[in-house]
C-alpha cells in the first residue's frame, strides 16, 4: 500500500509512512493512515505494583490480530476503536507517575457510554505496598526501579532489608513527602489512598482481575479478557505462562519482621474491611 503512494507523496512523508507501516508498535503515525478499528476501546489499568506488565505480555502474545492495536500508554477517544491502551491511572488522588484523575474520568465516562471497556488488575494491597517500596527506593537511589525478585535472591534477604530500613518503609506507606525529598514532584499514594483507589476501580471496572488468580489458573482469567475484547485467543505461538511473582509475600514479611506485623495489625478498621471486600484476608 505504501508503494502505491510513491507518485503522490513527498519522499520525507513516504519514509514516515513506511516506518509506521513496518513498525506500528513504535509510532501512532500508523493510525493516521490506517483505520484504528471500531471495537470498543480497551483500557488495561492497574495501580503501581499490581502485575499490569504481566497482563500486557498476555495481551500482546495471545489476542491475535487485535494485538497490533496495543499501546503501553493511555490515549482518549470520542468514539469506539480497536485500540488497547495500558497504563497506571488514579480516580481520586493525584499520584506520581500515574495518569491524572481528570484523564481517568474521561475513560470512566466512555465506559458508561459503552464505547470503551475498563479491565482493572489488582493484587493483595500489602504485596503491592512492599513491591512499590522496593521499586521507588531503588528508583530514587539508582534512577531505575526494579521488582523485589530482581533485587533480592532470597526472601530472607528482603526481610532483613525491610527490618533494617523499616522507618523508611513506614514513611513511604504513610505518604510522607520526605520519602521523595531527593526527587521533588507529585506525591505517590499513601497506603490508605491506594486502598481507596482500588475500591473505586472495583466499583467502576467492566471486569476486575486478581493478579493472584493468574498464578492459579491463567487460562481461566485470560478468558475474561478475551470475552471483554471479543477476540479469538491465539495460543499457538507461546504457552500461557503463570506470573513469576510470588503470591502473598507479605506473610513472610509478617513472620520475619515483627514491626511489619505490628504495622498490619494496626491498620484502621475501614482499611481492613476494604481489603476483605477485595477478597483478601489479613
Residue span of the structural domain in which 144 resides: 126-183+246-277
**Concatenated DSSP letters for 226-274?**
HHHHT-----SSS--PPPSSPTTTHHHHHHH-HHHHHHHHTS-HHHHHH
| pLDDT score of 1 more than 80 | no
What's residue 228's pLDDT? 94
| Residue 155 counted as domain residue | yes
Residue 30 confidence (pLDDT) above 70: no
Co-location of 76 and 157 in the same domain: no
Please write the tens of the pLDDT for every residue from 246-260: 889 999 999 999 999
Is there a single domain that holds both residue 215 and residue 88? yes
Distant-in-sequence, close-in-space partners of 1: CB < 8 Å, separation ≥ 6: 21
pLDDT at 2: 40
Q: For 86-107, how does the pLDDT look when each residue is reduced to its tens digit (9 = 90+)? A: 999 999 999 999 999 999 999 9
| Overall number of domains in the chain | 2
Q: Is residue 105 part of a domain?
A: yes
Average pLDDT over residues 166-193: 93
- 148 and 262 fall within a common domain: yes
Per the prediction, the chain carries an average pLDDT of: 87
For a pLDDT cut of 70, what percent of the chain falls above it?
A: 86
pLDDT, residue 17, reads 43
The pLDDT-based confidence of 41 (bands split at 50, 70, 90) is: very high
Predicted confidence band of residue 130 (pLDDT cuts 50, 70, 90): very high
Mean pLDDT for 202-222 is 96
> In percent, how much of the chain has pLDDT > 90?
68
What's residue 33's pLDDT? 57
Dihedral in degrees, nearest 10, Cα atoms 257, 279, 212, 163: -10
CATH of the domain at 206: 3.40.50
Averaged pLDDT for residues 126-146: 88
Q: Is 236 within a domain?
A: no
Provide the β-strand partners of residue 122: 210
User: Is residue 29 domain-resident?
Assistant: no
* pLDDT reading at 14 higher than 80: no
* Span 154-164, pLDDT tens digits: 999 999 999 99
Amino acid at each position: 500500500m505504501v508503494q502505491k503512494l510513491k507518485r503522490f507523496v513527498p519522499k520525507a512523508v513516504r519514509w514516515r509512512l513506511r516506518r509506521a507501516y513496518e513498525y506500528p508498535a513504535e509510532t501512532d503515525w500508523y493510525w493516521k493512515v490506517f483505520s484504528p478499528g471500531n471495537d470498543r476501546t480497551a483500557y488495561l489499568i492497574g495501580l503501581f505494583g499490581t502485575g499490569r506488565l504481566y497482563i500486557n505480555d498476555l495481551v500482546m502474545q495471545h489476542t491475535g490480530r487485535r494485538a497490533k492495536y496495543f499501546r503501553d500508554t493511555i490515549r482518549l477517544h470520542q468514539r469506539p476503536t480497536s485500540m488497547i491502551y495500558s497504563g497506571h491511572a488514579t480516580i481520586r488522588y493525584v499520584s506520581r507517575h500515574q495518569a491524572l484523575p481528570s484523564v481517568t474520568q474521561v475513560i470512566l465516562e466512555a465506559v458508561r457510554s459503552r464505547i470503551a471497556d475498563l479491565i482493572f488488575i489488582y493484587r493483595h494491597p500489602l504485596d503491592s505496598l512492599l513491591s512499590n517500596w522496593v521499586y521507588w527506593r531503588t528508583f530514587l537511589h539508582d534512577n531505575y526501579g526494579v521488582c523485589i525478585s530482581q533485587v533480592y535472591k532470597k526472601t530472607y534477604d528482603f526481610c532483613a532489608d525491610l527490618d533494617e530500613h523499616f522507618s523508611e518503609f513506614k514513611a513511604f506507606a504513610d505518604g510522607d513527602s520526605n520519602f521523595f525529598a531527593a526527587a521533588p514532584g507529585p506525591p505517590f499514594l499513601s497506603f490508605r489512598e491506594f486502598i481507596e483507589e482500588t475500591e473505586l476501580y472495583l466499583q467502576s471496572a467492566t471486569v476486575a482481575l486478581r493478579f493472584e488468580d493468574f498464578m492459579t489458573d491463567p487460562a481461566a482469567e485470560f478468558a475474561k479478557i478475551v470475552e471483554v475484547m471479543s477476540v479469538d485467543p491465539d495460543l499457538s505461538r507461546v504457552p500461557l505462562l503463570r506470573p513469576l511473582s510470588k503470591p502473598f509475600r507479605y506473610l513472610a514479611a509478617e513472620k520475619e519482621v515483627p514491626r511489619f506485623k505490628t504495622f498490619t495489625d494496626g491498620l484502621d478498621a475501614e482499611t481492613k474491611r476494604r481489603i476483605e471486600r477485595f477478597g483478601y484476608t489479613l
